[in-house]
Structure 1
């Protein structure tokens, strides 16, 4: 199995029959488990243990300080030095048909990336690299995405496959069938249980998110302080590893952290925070995704209490509320600009260039010192936009993203 941020948690993913939407946001179907993602009940104590793999945690901690190859002005093309895949067998002078099996565009993170991807596609069509990209959207359903991939294999006349898996274990056989065609297979965002793809593209991962956010809270809180952790849903690997890392750090530093699944429902988030405030002071809020962060902040305002130390995400709604309130905050990212990288990988494959076998992209949080610059750079963007979308040099900027022109 390829060495990846998701190795070691895949057995757990298989048992849970994981569903996915984006790696960071809302509007996802319930996983096929006994848990209700909209439940406000606390998760079982120690339940993150099955997701915690020390070797992966250590690896991602090291990668957070790694030197990335490539131009920092183009982070969507940067990567951590490692094994490379020879693509010379697919070098071609012909424009390629790309077949994209997408998990969904059911939430703002995926919608932002989908817009960026299509603007990158326009560039590569104009340059003659790609003839067309036929896309099938699975609507957050494993069976639909499996059928989509099989359709592409049997009838799509595809030159290249791009797959953003809906879930890890369930999609593995379909990805392997795509690999068996002998054509390039590019997997991005979430992993699968096979090393057959030509490249696997992703930011550093969930442990890195958990490490950055938990350490930020620890640095700004006191031992014994109480933190409410707001989690979207159980069973998604990059979300589970975010919490597994954060929980470990909170325990080691004497922070009293209680986690709740919210289903990314603003009303549930407000209820959780309000109920917690009735029980006593809440010094910090930790989130495994930023959508709903505004609702959490508003719950403190409704109760007339001091703002917490808080981590959200690089969604514009959180960045704006963070600036408005002046709270102590951090905006972790799961780099949305990764949606450009699969198509740029196609360009390299067509040229016969080597590409990273595991293409690990930068994943750097937005700090308070950087917030103003990102707010200015994204002025006029809607609240559901993500600050590190990486499309400023693409055609249609900024109007296509401002108007949410979703193909």
Structure 2
């Protein structure tokens, strides 16, 4: 058996069932989009600014007609919805590329409508999206590892929060953000250890343990913040931040350079983590064992794989990754720790895991989409868009509902996900 061999039990595959969720969801959002540009038409031009003032290569601004662009986008969305319907009739599912194309085109249309008469800083919008997506990506990687091993990690939120708290305190005391980063990973491991002990050793329901851990970490950090950090802010809660490290040549590439290659060490570690988790999961013995204990633990045990220890250590690894993601909230931006500052990022990371179909690369792309929704909210608020502020606050969560409930179609979790394993 090779590292990237599929894990099948040898039973004949069941006939594929058509999923109409994607065509129906695309149709609903297409209708809403057409109603929007019809009921609240806007005129003039929207300008897309592709370069920043610091770029060595300056790209020209790109103005577009609001009326023409929004209606062209509407027609394209109708065609993509029809294509999705036709493909489901023939092949049982809507391909991911069609969903990605739909989302991109819809975003262009919505931006053109919402920013009529204003200028959209594209590089700033994308840079904000990456910054907001970093903790989601770390959390999604932790979720993918845990669930591929058969353990549902609802406690990602708590691991992110524990990482943010530990990073702020340790880096303030030592003056070294690197030590704060290591402390955050240790904090994430400690939360994961409790999850693994109760879920794997004592067979407690994994979802219940995760929810309790989230509440416990939120309560504990809030108490320590009020009683310890606030009275001693300068001594305990004034963290330094990592400096940005521009990568020569790459950082000068128009649009992409400022977004991806003028970042801090936390972001560059994220690039490495995504690549290593994907490669390890599908190209190494570790990944084969990880997937085996999550898909068919009895078969894995039969061939000599220690199921529960494998699950235990991988949950701890996932906790370290999630804890590292928590550093973004404090030393990643030089911000003092505050109560519940993760604001549900762990749960959005779980949504990215499902949207990404338990694949590290797809989950990363899903997290970037959620980060983009949050960045879009901030950008439209700055340029004075007429979109109601209440809607803008809901936007990231609406995107989450859109992609998880309506777009992903049939998505199969690892077969033994959430199921404790009792030997014998």
TM-score bracket relative to the smaller structure: under 0.3
Larger Rg: 2
TM-score (norm 2): 0.26
More strand by share: 1
More helix by share: 2
Q: Name the structure, 1 or 2, with higher relative contact order (CA <8 Å, separation 6+).
A: 2
TM-score (norm 1): 0.27
